[in-house]
Structure formats: structure tokens, C-alpha cells
Structure 1
Amino acid sequence: MGVLEEDPFPGSWAVAAGLVSSWALRDEFVRVFPDVYLRKGCVLSAAGRARAAAHWAKGEGVLVGLSAAALHGTRWLDDDEPAELARAGHRRGPRGIRVVRDAIEPSECCAVEGFRVTTPARTAFDIGRRLPRDRAVPILDALCAATGTDSGDIAAVARRHPGLRGIRRLAAIIPLVDGGAESPPESLTRLLLVDDGLPAPAIQLVVRDEYGGFVARLDMGWKDWRVAVEYDGAQHWTDPAQRTKDIDRLAILDSLGWKVIRVSATLLHQHPHLILDRVRAALHLQGADIHS
């Protein structure tokens, strides 16, 4: 599709380049931010909103936080969140852009799609010190999965900025980050287990049979005790074909001595105590010396 079809763009640039007339700009596009337009009917993703903010800033700023995370390919972001931009001076952003006054070192910047953004590690550093833990960890898990960043990279940035606001909050979050999580509910399930005093489960456990053949990859669990916790999305409960596969898979795991606790959205958000009771019972049955 053409350059003006689905991405935001600077209106003055498009008119000057002869890509659209002033009349068509008003008639066929909507203004997202001052001098930034999007074709009518198109919806901004988190990454699109970040690009729109960068166009508004006209090169005078660095995309940070959630906007940087979006351009780094982080999944599961809220498309309606304001864009985040670090910019010198005291100019406030328009509605939909959050301007911060942070000074970003050149070594903590990089280019993505031609836009200046914070590096993945600096992006994680900013998100972790600004957002509540249960919101930050799923985002950081997804950011690390998308970029290969790990908790050590985030900690290295934290050591360079010991006095910045939120550093204590970040220090508690860093050990909880794991790029192996494949969805926010998986991240929240892991936090639930750790908060209850259980040992941190390994993520994406590969189970093999006695001959070394692949059997399953489990969301999280404890290999020593053959206990796993699986978060099952709606399709696992409503899709007959998926349900049949799950039954067969669980039967094989059971034959190999594994105990699998399945978690649904209802259990996670409304009855988390049942998850913990079932996990502790399974660990005890499998010989783990886990105290309440």
C-alpha cells in the first residue's frame, strides 16, 4: 500500500511532497496530533501512536517507555495508552503524548525504523521504575522476549542511574523478569506463585519421554518434582479440537509422572487461592518439602 495508506505522517511534508492536496488532507484523513495525520478508518496501534508522536516532535526527542517498547516489537501493549517521549525544554505534549524531561544518554539510544528510541535495556529500566509491579512485569517479560534483553542488562542500566526516581521499585522487579513468558497471564501466574513463597518456577519446561522424544513444552513448573502450571486461554476450553489435544497431552504427562495444574482466567483473577492450594498439594504429593 502507499506511504499514506495506514501509517501516520506529517501533513505539511505530505502536501509539500505532492503526495496529497490540502483539500484531500482535510477530507480523507484525521488529525492525530498537530500536523500529524492518519487515513480515516485506520486505527493506531501502540507502535503507530509512537510513530505519530515522533512525527509531532520532528526529531526533537527520544521515544521512551511504552512507545519505545512498542517499536522494539513488544506484544500485548494497550493501543490506547499515550505515547511517551523524552524531550528537552518545557514544551508540553498535546493530548495523547506524555512528555518527560529525562536526559537520555547517547549510549542508551538507538534507531528503529528511522526513529530515535531508547535501547531495550533503558526502555525496560524506565518502565520498571514508573509502573506498578504487576503491570510492569508482563510488559518487561514481553520486551525481553522480543529483544533478547535480560534482567542483567536492566540491572546494568540501573547501576548507572542510582539516584533516579523509582529505582527501589525497579530493584524489586528486576529479579522477577523472565523473557520466557509467552503472555501476560503467564507472567501474572508466575508472580502469584512467587508471592505465596513458592520457589520461582522454571519457564517453558521441555518434557521428554524415556527415549528422549519430545512430549510437551510446559508454561512453568518444577522439573525436580514433576509439577507444572499451565495457563490455558479460552480456546483450550471452547475449541473441541484443542480440548481433545489437551486431554491426550495431559494423559501422556500423567503417565510420565507429571502433575499439571491448569489455570484459567477465572481462576487467576477470581479464585487465586484455589491455584495455590492445588499447586501446594501437587508439590507435597510429589515429595517437595515446601512450607506454607
Structure 2
Amino acid sequence: MKLTLKRPARTTTIAFASLAAGMALTVPGLALAHDGHKAVPAPPAAPTSADQIQNIDQVKTAIKAYYGDTPTTTVAPGTATNPPTFIHTFNPDGAYAHEVEGIAARAAKELSHHHKRTANKAILFDIDDTTLNTYSYEIFSNFVYNPATNANFVNASDPQVFPAVPGMVGLEKSAEAHGYQVYFLTGRPITQKDGTILNLTRAGYDVDPTHVYLKDASGATEPWLSSCAPACTTVQYKSLTRQHIESLGVDIVANFGDQFSDLKGGFADSTYKIPNPMYYLP
């Protein structure tokens, strides 16, 4: 399916987490942010040598070090193991926390200085690993997604299980103080809406339930997805939903996501890539 932008591509702000503090880069058209100076190259689709692929155990060890793996006394939701399975979380003073806080602080500064005359201006957040951190589930599941166990974590609605991503609550408050509306757009199924809203609220976010969009695979409650439902790709689902939001008279000034598929497809003036080395969603 070809997406048609309702207005020309716009300048995109790229947040580079590891550049000097306060530095941002603008480029024409719809460009995407990197996690550092440049994205880590993916292995080839059809490797011909093991040397072309990073060792998975070494990658997992590096991810744990980056997040600052911290055991907790919180029991994993929905488990009945004996002894209990305790979850892990990130270190609030670790590399991950500092990197994301830097992006949030720069975004807050940029939003406070732009679009002062724009009516109905808004920012849009993805949820998993953009506003709520899911490191606990990745460690619990050994980086293997399972719909049933993941739903247990989501429906726990517990900020000890899925805490706020560092810096993001403050970013939301700052944007609201400068007149921005806040929207949330996630690939979570619509059946998880209540747990998602409760988790966001308990983690400190201001949430208007009418501004929270979850995925209805059938498209029954989301007619703007009729062109691709029930098999919308992530890019189609998110870009068409942003198009729908803007069709209501809203200007999405900034779009925040941890996946490049959260950011592609237009209908936002700027995009911010949040670091997430744990999984990839095309």
C-alpha cells in the first residue's frame, strides 16, 4: 500500500543520544534518528559465515550491562513458581537511564522553543520502551516474546513491573506546560487498553483515554485502517493512525518511538528515536 502524505515532508529533528549535550541535527524530509553516531548494522538476511553474526549470549550480556541489570523483590506477574520468580529492572543511574534522560531533556528544550503559535499542537508517544520500560519482561522471558506471559505483565498495571522510561514523565509535563496535547499510540492489542492506561497513570503520566490508541487487528473500531486491515504492518498502522489524529485538526509536532517503524510514514513534524537494543519490530 502506498501512503499519501496530506502535506509535504517536513524538517525532522534527529536526537543523537551520544552527541554533545544539547546538540540536535535537522535534515530535510523524513529522516530518522539513530541511537548514537550511527545505527549498529544489522547482520545480513542470509549470512554466509558465522562471523557476520554477533554472538547472542554476548549481546544479551552487553544489553544487561547497558541497562544496569538490577534484581528486585517484586514477584513476576502471573507466575506461581516456588520459590517466586523475581523481576529485574534497569539501574536509574546507569548508561541507559542517562542516555534516555538526555534525549528527553533536549526534546523538552526544543519543544519549548518551537511552534508557539501553532493551534492544537501535540506530541505523540509510543508506549513500550518509549514511555513504559519493559526490561523486566525481557529478562523474565529471556528475550523471547510470549503473548500470554506478556499480557500478564501488561495487565498487572504496576509501575514496579513496567516503570516509566527515565525522563519521559518530565518531558510530558514540560510539553503540557507549553500547551501541547499528548497522545499515545501503541501496537498493544485493544484488549489491553484498561491495563495500559492504568499503568501509564500509576507511572506518573497524564492520560486522556480518548488520546490512547491501541491496535484492533480487525479494524472494526479503527475505520482509518480499512485500507490494510486485518494485516496492517506496523508502519501502516502507526502512520495511518497519525494521519487520522491530524485529520481531527491536531498538529503532531513531535513523534517519539523506540522502533524505526514507530517513526516512518510521516504525519509528524519531527521524530525522536529512543534507544532499545532488546528487540526489533519492522
Tell me which structure has the larger Cα radius of gyration: 1
TM-score category, normalised to shorter length:
under 0.3
Q: Which has the higher contact order (CA 8 A, sep 6+)?
A: 2
Structure with a larger share of its residues in helix: 1
TM-score normalised by structure 1 residue count: 0.26
